[in-house]
Amino acid sequence: MANVFAILTAIVLAAAAFIASKNKTKYEAEIDARKTEESRLHKSEARLEDLSKQYTATASEHKSTDETNASLTETESAQKKKNSGLESALAEKEAQAESNAKKIASIEEGMKELGPIDEMVDKIKTTSQDLAKLKDDIDANQAKLADLTGEKTRTEGVISSYRVKDSNYSNKRSFFSSTRISQIFPAYGFVTLPIGNAGGVVSGSPLNVVRDGAVVAKLRVSSVESGRAAAEIVPDSLAEGTTLMVGDRVVPGADGEKK
């Protein structure tokens, strides 16, 4: 009985092994078939992608070609207009050239009456040289005139300055802008100034002592040297309660104050 059971078991195992082997072979075949289909699918997808790219490139090239054609059409139209304008300009220039030719012929006819052209050229050159020389002479004379005018202006300025100084000295009028008292001698009734006749102080001229914008005393120049001067304090001219101080501002007085 045990042998029978063993035999049956062996038969079942053999059958199972056979079926398993057959199923494995079929499964492997299916796997190979699936791989083949997947490879074909990948190739188809790659070809589809390549065709899509070619289509896109062709569409882009077609668009570019259309744009180029449109641009060329516009360029051709513009060139036709330009050519038309050039033709009109050419016709105008030809008419102008014909007119100029007539004018030249008329001028040549008139020049025959003037004599040989070489003689005219020599005369024109000689006249041009004479004109250039005259121009140089005029320029030189104008430069001399400018120098003389400048010298005259400077001389007149000096003369005017001397006239003003002479008038100031004649009228005993100092002509400096302002100065300061450098020393005071109250016992002797005079002060000294740090400028003299070189600075515009005139002997015998009236001066005013100014403080805070008001005249506080009057002076009269008594003696003058080149770089300093002395001036007497005019009696009763000192403002009440005022004492002259070194550094007080001094300016020329009015003309009527010297009398």
Among 109-123, 201-215, 216-230, the range scoring the smallest mean pLDDT is 109-123
- Averaged confidence pLDDT in the chain: 81
* Same domain, yes or no: 79 and 28: yes
The pLDDT score that the predictor gives to residue 88 is: 80
Residues ≥6 apart with Cβ < 8 Å to 111: 117
Answer yes or no: are the C-beta atoms of 225 and 197 closer than 8 Å: yes
Question: Of 155, 170, 185, which residue is a domain's last?
Answer: 170
The pLDDT score that the predictor gives to residue 35 is: 85
pLDDT of 87-110, one tens digit each?
788 788 788 878 877 777 777 676
CATH code of the domain containing 231: 2.40.10.340
> How far is 251 from 180, CA to CA, in rounded Å?
9
- Domain of 226, in residue numbers: 176-258
Range 191-195, long-range pairs (CB < 8 A, 24+ positions)? 191/219, 191/230, 191/231, 191/233, 191/244, 192/228, 192/229, 192/230, 192/231, 193/228, 193/229, 193/230, 193/231, 193/250, 194/227, 194/228, 195/227, 195/228, 195/229
The pLDDT score that the predictor gives to residue 126 is: 82
Q: Looking at residues 128-143, what average pLDDT do you find?
A: 78
* Same domain, yes or no: 65 and 160: no
Residue 199: count of CB within 10 angstroms of its CB: 18
Question: Of 126, 148, 170, which residue is a domain's last?
Answer: 170
Q: Which residues, in sequence order, are bridge partners of residue 204?
A: none
Residues ≥6 apart with Cβ < 8 Å to 179: 193, 194, 195, 199, 249, 250
| Structure tokens, 49 | 């992608």
Residue type, 14: A
* Same domain, yes or no: 217 and 144: no
* Same domain, yes or no: 71 and 61: yes
* Same domain, yes or no: 13 and 66: yes
Residue 259: band (very low, low, confident or very high) from pLDDT cuts 50, 70, 90: very low
Q: Which residues, in sequence order, are bridge partners of residue 250?
A: 179, 209
Domains in the chain, number: 3
The pLDDT score that the predictor gives to residue 165 is: 57
* Same domain, yes or no: 90 and 9: yes
* Same domain, yes or no: 46 and 91: yes
Among 29-33, 69-73, 205-209, the range scoring the smallest mean pLDDT is 69-73
* Same domain, yes or no: 96 and 26: yes
